[in-house]
Amino acid sequence: MDCPEVISSIKKSLPDFSALAVSQHYPDEIFIKVSPEAFKDTSMVLHKILPSPVMMLFAVDERKLTGVFTLNAVFVNLKQRQWIILNMDIPQENPYFDSLAKSIHSAAIFEREIQEMFGIQPKGNPDLRRMNLHDEVWPQGNFPLRNDFKGMVNGNLSEYKFNRVEGGGIFEVPVGPVHAGIIGPGHFRFSVAGEPIVNLELRLGFAHRGVEKLFEGKTCFDALRLSECICGDSAFAYSVAFATAAEKISGISIPQKAAYLRGIYLELERMYNHVSDIGGIALDVGFSFPAAYASVIKETILQLNEKLTASRYLKNVNVIGGVSGDIDDAKKLILFDALKKIKKDFNALVKMLNSSVSFMDRVDTTGVLIKKTAQDLGVVGLVARASGIPTDLRKYFPGVYSQAKFKMMTQEAGDVLSRLELRFSEFVESCRLIEEFTIKLSGSRDMQVNSVLKQESALGYVEGARGPVLCWLKTDAHGVIARCKLVDPSSHNWQGLSYAVLGNIIPDFPVCNKSFNLSYSGNDL
């Protein structure tokens, strides 16, 4: 679909639509600039006709250059394999925009973020409590992502207000942010009637490190290493998302071999994450033997990673323009040997879990996220696929995956078992993909690297283990990063968790949580 087609399909639903500017710098990105009055209606039309949740919604401070903030909403058109970026200007005096949150749920958290980081009011959003800048620490009036932010200004602190469920026999159970296990920080506020959960409110942001601010002022080469540190278990996915954005800006196309190598490492990352989650699910229902077995498989994969790239978590492997860690013939042998062992062990693990009645009783019908709820919330990635929504960037934006005949997996029920079985089948598919990619590895991976020296913006995206990792990058005239907006699949999916647990009993929460396995660090940024 090219630009006129998009415009005409919008016009079908919105007859008096007119864009201020339409452009297409890259084949997979369409940029539409609209007037502030038309922004909300156009977003709702795009949301409906594509159909797509708001994949990203973020502000950019361009006051130095043009005297305005800009607001960008990113939608994905899976069928046409395109991203649509809707843009509008927000004047710097009394900045506000019409909230989308009441019509499109997936926009809600982004609007809260824009409000706290830029001080731009989403008019009409019913929930404007701050998420990452905690009221107990950050006084009102600090907007750290504005360019003129110089450091925190002291002021009055306040307290976060939780939603309350009131009535006879309702108890509140606060859990966290410090947990007993080695996991990230998050506060969970359960309202329970006996054991069943009536409401769950999440409070995150404890791991907020100002990542997006850290990117600003760095060159793309420096920032690549930073991108690997955002979310430790998705280090490679993040670096690919970032590198793709940077490559699009500099006009580099990576050699075919590097594309295959990226595919291999991405799948290795997915495999260790999936098997670790499978073990985690078993452990959270007290099934310790398969949990121990899964940790052995995970360790095998991590050791394989180290042999291939000298990094267990695939850091320092990606570079802008290609991949530094090559797989030569000797390493191919190591890879095939390890895969053979991993597959054998994994089959035994699956068999063990599938044949245990006590285990199946715990995961079957637990923590159901029905398709309708998942769609309304704009849930993405693995969680969405387990609820029957066919969405996988590897299928719709395939790249090298088309050569390996990638098969997208989905499940229907949306319970813990579906998410578990989806991980089973994706793990097996990842094994197959790695073999296919490795066989096809040939040629040189020499890359051309131009330094990025132009003012441009681009969207990088990749399907990580949890779902789509998105990175929108904007550079200034010196090639230095002016704004980098990252969206982890977790930020879409945390809401899904709080709906999936409703009606389940409190002791089943940990296994529901583990089956989502969402990231704290990726969400809090």
Partner 1 sequence: MNKITLFFLQLIFFIVVAPFLSGLITKIKNSLRMRKGQSIFQPYYNLIKLFSKIQVVSETASWIFRVTPFILISSTLTVALLVPVFIFSNPLYRMGDFIAIIFIFALGRFFLALAALDTGSSFGGMGSSREMFIASLVEPALCLVVFSVFLQFGSTNLSVFSGMHAVSVSSLVGASALFLVVIAETSRVPVDNQETHLELTMVHEAMALEYSGASLALIELAAQVKQMIWFFLIAQIIFPITTLSLVNLKGLFSWGLWYLARILIIVITMAIVEVSVAKMRLFRVADFLGFAFVLGIIASICAILGA
Of 174 and 390, the one with the shorter C-beta distance to partner 1 is 174
Q: Give the one residue of 20, 292, 333, 439 binding partner 1; rule: CB under 8 A.
A: 292
Of the pair 160, 289, the CB lying nearest partner 1 is at 289
What type of residue is 78? L
Q: Is 412 in the site for partner 1 (CB under 8 A)?
A: no
Residue 502 is a binding residue for partner 1 (CB under 8 A): no
CB of 241 or CB of 294, closer to partner 1: 294
Establish if 503 lies at the interface with partner 1 (CB under 8 A). no
Cβ of 503: how many Cβ atoms within 10 Å? 11
CB of 190 to partner 1, least distance (A): 8
3-state secondary structure of 474: strand
Please report whether residue 181 would count as binding partner 1 according to CB under 8 A.
yes
Sole window of 59-67, 235-243, 286-294, 377-385 interacting with partner 1 (rule: CB under 8 A): 286-294
173 lies in the binding site for partner 1 (CB under 8 A): yes
C-alpha 360/C-alpha 353 separation (Å) is: 8
- Looking at the Cβ atoms of 141 and 286, the one nearer to partner 1 is 286
Q: Does 289 sit near partner 1 (CB under 8 A)?
A: yes
Binding segment (CB under 8 A) for partner 1, from list 97-105, 132-140, 172-180, 373-381: 172-180
Residues 6 or more apart in contact with residue 166 via CB below 8 angstroms: none
CA dist 134 and 206 (Å) reads 8
What count of Cα atoms within 13 Å lies in the side-chain half-sphere of residue 193?
9
Q: In whole angstroms, how close is the CB of 194 to partner 1 at the nearest point?
A: 8
* Contact string (CB under 8 A) for partner 1, positions 106-145, x = contact: ----------------------------------------
E strand segments, 417-495: 456-463, 468-475, 481-487
Q: Give the three-class secondary structure for 200.
A: strand
Q: How far apart are CA 260 and CA 445, in angstroms?
A: 10
- Which one of the spans 30-38, 148-156, 357-365, 458-466 is the region binding partner 1 (CB under 8 A)? 357-365
Q: Is 299 in the site for partner 1 (CB under 8 A)?
A: no
Nearby residues of 118 by Cβ (< 8 Å), 6 or more positions away: 59, 61, 69, 95, 143, 145, 146
Per CB under 8 A, does 362 bind partner 1?
A: yes
Long-range Cβ pairs for the range 455-459 (8 Å, 24+) = 456/25, 456/249, 457/249, 458/25, 458/26, 458/29, 458/245, 458/246, 458/248, 458/249, 459/29, 459/74, 459/83, 459/85, 459/245, 459/248
Nearer to partner 1, 55 or 512 (CB): 512
Beta bridge partners of 480: 219
Closer to partner 1 by Cβ: residue 128 or 505: 505
3-state secondary structure of 173: strand
CB-nearer residue toward partner 1: 28 or 172: 172
If we measure between CA atoms, which residue out of 396, 447, 434 comes closest to residue 254? 447
Gyration radius (Cα) of the chain, Å? 23
Nearest distance in Å: CB 498, partner 1: 15
Q: Is 171 in the site for partner 1 (CB under 8 A)?
A: yes
330 binds partner 1 (CB under 8 A): no
Under the rule (CB under 8 A), what is the footprint of partner 1? 171-175, 179-181, 194-195, 282, 284-289, 292-293, 296, 356, 358-359, 361-362, 505-510
